[in-house]
Amino acid sequence: MNNDLEIFMDMMDDIETPFVEVVETGKNNSYYEGLGIHILKQFENNDHYFYFLKSILKNYHELSKDQQNKICELMNIQPKVIIQKKTITVEKKKKNKNQKPKLNMKDEY
């Protein structure tokens, strides 16, 4: 699902964009992690962070299962718990028809 900004950014692929951050290629993983921390420090409020994170997570499904699990652990996302109703049936003891009635010998009348 493309929004207007995504279409605009695709059109500006070869043209200089208004965004200052340039991501260099061929660097090690610590460079990209540091770049992410640098960008995080520039957010003024949680709304900006939310929209940034929303745009970054568009390719989440392309990550390996191991990488997805690490992100879920980091974000403390728990698997959904499915609660099913459990029915317990208690069988009543069947009375034996051939059994004699018991006399109450404890009560004194």
Q: What's the token pair of residue 6?
A: 């995504």
- pLDDT by residue (tens digit) across 7-28? 666 666 655 656 666 778 888 8
68 CB-contact burial (10 Å; exposed 0-12 / middle 13-18 / buried 19+)? middle
d(CA 7, CA 26): 27
Nearest to 21 by CA among 50, 43, 44: 43
- pLDDT by residue (tens digit) across 45-77? 999 889 888 888 888 899 999 999 999 898 888
Nearest to 5 by CA among 63, 62, 58, 46: 58
Average pLDDT over residues 79-87: 81
- C-alpha count within 13 angstroms, C-beta hemisphere, residue 28: 1
Nearest to 75 by CA among 96, 57, 48, 98: 57
